[in-house]
């Protein structure tokens, strides 16, 4: 089966229909000499019924469907591997894009609903020392349609409604800012899946200028900052972004985000044995965050075979958490899901590439 309706055409000349908002689509469809209401029908097929071909749009004439194929690229993601955890039903999807790149997304079942973790770029250029996604750098940004499609395809494949989205897969979402904003617009559109911004978390390694820009949009999304250290010196050993911005600058940007949106900031803190997990550091972290309406998400570092970092043992993680709580800082230990299926960021994509190059 052809992956898209228009495989034989030059995709570069076609408009990415799934990245258009309804107003743009209306304008475009009218320019084709069609009635405006056709745009609403098409939008409904794309963003509510989640079809993967123009031929499924059965309330359009065959002639119109042909015209659409000539003008638009229908961006879809194609599952090339799906792994289900035997431990907790978490599913990891490896999706192929129309240009042959692969990305990964994760589906997680929680009591409060299903959550999907999506990628925002193919690879990543941020260079965090413990992360598998960044090892080979960034290939390209994902388009809004490709971010949407991860959610759409997973909802179709699982047959279950997605209620929460975390943009914590491969890539740095704020490094793909405009496409991220369009994604946030379309995923929350009442004519589409209508997922509330309050159920969406955007995680950043800390692109300070972009945090300010996002804050000014006053969206109701949760911002998660990957902090991972309580002082600049340690942060610089883990994350190159710390050479550009100090923790003080990061926290000032987060405070501004909170002031503009009223949304509590979430700080991610991956515990790396012997690097950032001592009791003194827990106190230092508590001092740093004191007085803020925030939440700390403690993540036992997921060992990546290309990296030498070791995870902190459970007792020590509990101690770290207790110190934060004693100092009135909200903290939780991230439930580890899908440990048996290459759970960490970028690991499944890497193992896929490795097995392909060994063939």
List of residues contacting ligand SAH (CB under 6 A): 126, 128, 130-131, 168, 172, 203-205, 226, 268, 270, 299, 301-302, 304, 344-345
Task: Name the β-bridge partners of 92.
Answer: 83, 106
Entry field: residues in the chain? 359
Q: How far is CA 321 from CA 123, 226, 230, 298, in A?
A: 31, 17, 14, 8
The set of catalytic residues is 104, 345
Nearer to ligand SAH, 39 or 117 (CB): 117
Q: How far apart are CA 198 and CA 256, in angstroms?
A: 18
Q: How far is the CB of 199 from ligand SAH (least distance, A)?
A: 17
Nearer to ligand SAH, 296 or 345 (CB): 345
Q: How far apart are CA 69 and CA 84, in angstroms?
A: 35
Q: How far is the CB of 206 from ligand SAH (least distance, A)?
A: 8
Nearer to ligand SAH, 51 or 207 (CB): 207
Q: How far is the CB of 40 from ligand SAH (least distance, A)?
A: 34
Number of neighbouring beta carbons within 10 Å of residue 293: 12
Q: How far apart are CA 105 and CA 108, in angstroms?
A: 10
Q: How far apart are CA 222 and CA 71, in angstroms?
A: 37
Q: How far is the CB of 192 from ligand SAH (least distance, A)?
A: 24
Nearer to ligand SAH, 17 or 331 (CB): 331
Nearer to ligand SAH, 52 or 302 (CB): 302
Q: How far is the CB of 333 from ligand SAH (least distance, A)?
A: 12
Cβ(323)–Cβ(329) below 8 Å: no
Nearer to ligand SAH, 179 or 203 (CB): 203
Q: How far is the CB of 239 from ligand SAH (least distance, A)?
A: 8
Cβ(324)–Cβ(313) below 8 Å: no
């Amino acid at each position: 089966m052809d992956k898209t309706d228009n495989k034989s055409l030059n995709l570069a000349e076609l408009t990415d229909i799934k990245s258009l908002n309804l107003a743009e689509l209306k304008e475009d469809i009218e320019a084709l000499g069609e009635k405006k209401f056709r745009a609403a029908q098409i939008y409904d097929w794309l963003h509510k019924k989640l079809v993967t071909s123009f031929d499924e749009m059965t309330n359009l004439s065959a002639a119109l469907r042909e015209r659409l194929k000539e003008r638009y690229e229908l961006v879809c993601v194609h599952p090339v591997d799906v792994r289900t955890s035997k431990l907790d039903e978490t599913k990891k999807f490896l999706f192929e894009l129309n240009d042959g790149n692969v990305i990964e997304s994760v589906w997680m079942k929680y009591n409060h609903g299903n959550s999907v973790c999506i990628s925002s770029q193919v690879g990543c250029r941020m260079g965090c020392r413990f992360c598998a996604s960044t090892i080979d750098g960034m290939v390209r940004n994902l388009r809004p349609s490709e971010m949407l499609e991860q959610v759409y395809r997973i909802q179709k494949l699982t047959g279950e409604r997605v209620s929460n989205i975390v943009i914590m897969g491969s890539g740095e979402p704020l490094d793909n800012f405009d496409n991220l904003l369009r994604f946030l617009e379309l995923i929350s559109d009442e004519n589409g899946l209508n997922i509330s911004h309050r159920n969406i978390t955007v995680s950043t390694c800390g692109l300070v200028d972009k945090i300010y820009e996002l804050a000014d949009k006053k969206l109701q999304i949760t911002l998660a900052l990957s902090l991972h250290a309580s002082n600049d010196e340690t942060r610089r050993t883990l994350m190159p972004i710390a050479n550009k911005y100090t923790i003080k600058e990061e926290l000032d940007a987060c405070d501004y985000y909170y002031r503009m949106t009223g949304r509590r900031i979430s700080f991610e803190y991956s515990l790396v044995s012997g690097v950032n997990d001592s009791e003194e550091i827990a106190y230092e972290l508590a001092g740093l965050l004191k007085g803020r309406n925030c939440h700390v998400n403690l993540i036992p570092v997921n060992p990546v075979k290309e990296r030498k970092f070791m995870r902190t043992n459970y007792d020590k993680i509990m101690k770290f958490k207790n110190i934060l709580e004693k100092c009135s800082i909200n903290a939780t230990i991230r439930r580890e899901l899908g440990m048996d299926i290459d759970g960490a960021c970028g690991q499944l994509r890497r193992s896929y590439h490795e097995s392909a190059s060994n063939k």
